[in-house]
Amino acid sequence: GSAKQGRDRKNQAILPLKGKILNVEKARFDKLLGSQEIATLITALGTGIGKDDFSVEKLRYHRIIIMTDADVDGAHIRTLLLTFFYRQMTELVERGHIYIAQPPLYKVKQGRDERYLKDELELDEYLLQSALKGAELLTKEGGETIKDEALTAIAKQMVLTEAVIRRIAGLYDESVLRAIQDVGDINLSDEQNANRIAEQLRPILGAVGSEVIVVLDNETNTYRLEVNKYVHGNLQSCVIDAEFLGSGDYRQINRTSAMVNQLLG
């Protein structure tokens, strides 16, 4: 398809592999050689296979690019091919002959302009740039006007934080993550600080039916917050402890929170 149309016939060739690719981790060597797909691949490369027959000097193409679909099946096929090269033609990997094409997940069109975007992160980046074109942010009346690169930097941080919240919302209640973002820097180093943070969170989380409790872990002598609420009659508990506060996810949330609080004064 598009790969054949995009190649340079002088020095590039496309080898479509049809059918199932063997898992070389499980297959015997004789079965490996009996696979039509593997045999076709070996012939195309020209190197031979096996300790006695393999010769990297006979390689017909300097770059071997694995091109698979941008889905789970494509990722599986890519893994099987990489495993084959690593186990049976290790020298090709070590010499840097193996490449992985990264297929785009999205195609966007604006007027006559068309472009392909690798993943959701690139899509967010593109949409952000489009949305902020010519935009200005007035932080408060009579305050500083933020635009161009400064505004883009702020927006990127907020997009990253939203991505973090979406990703970990299955582990932590989203309402708790939003409340943490509103409160800002959390310090649970002692009882006084833990109670202070709990008091800040209670009005926010109480509005959605949650209870915030300060708990002392006697084994580690550290404090944590437990946020409890009933959902359809079942108790759900979300724990904010030193492990969470030391994570990169929390640091990203806190970084954005501090930035917003500074802007709003």
What CATH number corresponds to the domain at position 73?
3.40.50.670
Domain count, the chain: 2
Average pLDDT over residues 146-157: 87
Question: Is residue 191 situated within a structural domain?
Answer: yes
What CATH number corresponds to the domain at position 260?
3.10.20.690
Question: Is residue 244 situated within a structural domain?
Answer: yes
Q: At residue 264, does pLDDT exceed 80?
A: no
Residue tagged 């076709």 (tokens):
40
Calpha distance 38→33 (Å, rounded): 7
Question: Is residue 14 situated within a structural domain?
Answer: yes
pLDDT in tens, 73-120: 888 888 888 988 888 889 999 999 999 988 788 899 988 889 989 888
Query: Amino acid identity of 16?
Result: P
Question: Is residue 148 situated within a structural domain?
Answer: no
Question: Is residue 38 situated within a structural domain?
Answer: yes
- Its domain, for residue 260, covers 173-264
Which pLDDT score is estimated for 19? 63
**CA distances in angstroms from 230 to 57, 195, 204, listed in the order given:** 68, 23, 16
Which one of 70, 100, 130 terminates a domain?
100
Which pLDDT score is estimated for 210? 95
pLDDT in tens, 185-211: 999 999 999 999 999 999 999 999 999
Q: At residue 216, does pLDDT exceed 70?
A: yes
Look at the pTM and tell me if it is higher than 0.85: no
Residue tagged 């509103």 (tokens):
182
Q: List the end-to-end C-alpha distance of the chain, in Å, as a whole number.
A: 56
140: three-class secondary structure by DSSP:
coil
Q: Write the DSSP string, 9-61.
A: TTT-------SPPP-TTTS-HHHHHH-HHHHHHHHHH----STTT--GGG-S-
pLDDT band at 24, cuts 50/70/90?
A: low
Question: Is residue 135 situated within a structural domain?
Answer: no
Q: At residue 245, does pLDDT exceed 60?
A: yes
Residue tagged 């941080």 (tokens):
157
